[in-house]
Each structure stands twice: as C-alpha cells, then as structure tokens.
Amino acid sequence: MLRLLPLVRPVIAAFVGVVLIYLVLPTFVVLPLSFSAQEYLSFPPQGFSIKWYQRLAANPTWLDATLNSLMIGIPTALLSMVLGTLGALAVVRGSLVRASLLSALLVAPMMLPHVILAIGLYPVMLELGLLRSHIAAILAHTVIGIPLVFLTVTASLRSYSGSLERAAMTLGANLWQTFWKVTLPMILPGVMVGGILAFASSFDELMLSLFMTGATTRTLPRLMWEQMSDFLTPVIAAAASLVFAFSLVMLGMAALLQKRSSTAGGGAHG
C-alpha cells in the first residue's frame, strides 16, 4: 500500500470522519424529530412524546398505504426473483452470442430515469385496463427489480464452475432436476439477496407509483410524498422512522445471507 507523508494520514482521517457523519446525518435528524412534542418541525426537538406515532396508528390511510406497499413489494420481489434468475442462468450458462450485450440490456432498467418508464408504461397499462391496480405497480416495479436479481444471481453463478451442472446432466438429470438439486442450492443466497433488493427498491419507489397507483392503491412513499407537499408535521418523521427501522431489518437479513453465502463459497456481490 501507498506510504503516506506524516501529516497526510490525520488529515485524511479527519476528512473521512466528517464525510461519514454527513452520510448518516439525515437519519439522525428524522429519528429524534419523530419523538418531538411540538406541532411544527424544529430541531433540536422540544420535549418528548409518542403522539406522532399514535396519530400515525390512528389514521387508517397510513396503514392502507403500508399494506399496499407490501401487496406490491412482495409479488414484485417474487416475480423479479424468477425472471432475474432465468436471465442470469441464460447469460452465464447459456454461452450465448453477445452475452455482454444481453446483460447490458437486462441491467439497463436500473440505470434509466424512472420518469421515462413511467410515462411510457402509463398508456400501456391504460390499454391493458390495469391502471391504478396493484398489478400495474407490480409489473412496473418488476422491470426495475429484474436487474437487481440478475446481478446478484450472476455473481453467484460465476462463483462456481458450470461443470457441476454438466456433471449432473451427463449422469442423466434433466434441466429441471439439475436446477432444483444442483443449481438452486448453490445460488439461493444470491437469489434471496436479489429478492430483498427488489423488494426494497419497490418499497422505496415513488415515480412509477405516482403514475401506476390510484387513491386506493397508493404506496407508502407516495403517501409520504403527498403529505410532504401539504403540510410538514412530525407525523411524516414518525412514518419515516418506522420505514427506516424496517429497511435496517432487511439490510441485516441481506448482510446475513451474504455472509453465509461467502462462507459457503458463494459470495453474492462486493
């Protein structure tokens, strides 16, 4: 590693410290705010109360939005896991011509501004009669969920040789049996991490939800967004804190799965 001049090391350390604080600052603004006793937003919050959480629980709109987010996020994750895994198997094991171009196409939805996809999908869903249904949001979110699963499963598949599958098939297993008995156990952590990522991205997605969902199917980010433009109260901070806690649980699950897969020789991604 690079040797540093004596003065450089503390300067870098101080700089890195400031940046790390900057990275977590927003989170630690929202959390104390949600326990504020005041009606308006001020920081540091005066007094302590859980009234914003009570107000949150008392308002069925928030519960409905949470249920909608789950009803959209879970099928999105499952559908993304199936389609993303199939894509990864084909690209990694299929020795396709132009495999790198195909993987670039499969990853592309992740890079595209969501607003373009949203205004393109709107008329499509309208014609299919799906607009403002959960299904419209599930299909839209799956488009951006597939790349996440594709990337994690691709990494899992590249971590071991395809000769395992070839051996199983040479011994008489068909593609279906080979998948369930050999491939899936090897890539399961990657599939699961990808599924969690797809769920998390659906759970956080705003733009597609703005165009795909309606009054009865609106998701949590959409509700927060609508509330934010109307009035800034600590109710949003309370909702945000709960969402954050939920995300941390998912992050923990993903990290655990990755750790297990890397000790088992899987190593989903960096």
Q: Is 139 or 187 the residue whose CB approaches another protein more closely?
A: 139
CB of 79 to another protein, least distance (A): 8
What binding mask, one character per residue, do residues 96-115 give for another protein by CB under 8 A, x or -? x---x-xxxxxxxxxxxxxx
Of these, 56, 72, 77, 83, which contacts another protein (CB under 8 A)?
83
Of these, 68, 243, 261, 266, which contacts another protein (CB under 8 A)?
243
Q: Rounded to whole angstroms, what are the CA distances from 68 to 17, 40, 43, 252, 254?
A: 39, 28, 32, 23, 23
What binding mask, one character per residue, do residues 122-161 give for another protein by CB under 8 A, x or -? xxx--------------xx-xxx-xxx-xxx-xx------
Query: Under rule CB under 8 A, which residues in 190-219 are in contact with another protein?
Result: 197, 200-201, 203-208, 210-211
Q: Is 12 or 57 the residue whose CB approaches another protein more closely?
A: 12
Is 117 a binding residue for another protein by CB under 8 A? The answer is: yes
CB of 2 to another protein, least distance (A): 5
What binding mask, one character per residue, do residues 161-180 give for another protein by CB under 8 A, x or -? ----xx--xx----x-----
CB of 57 to another protein, least distance (A): 19
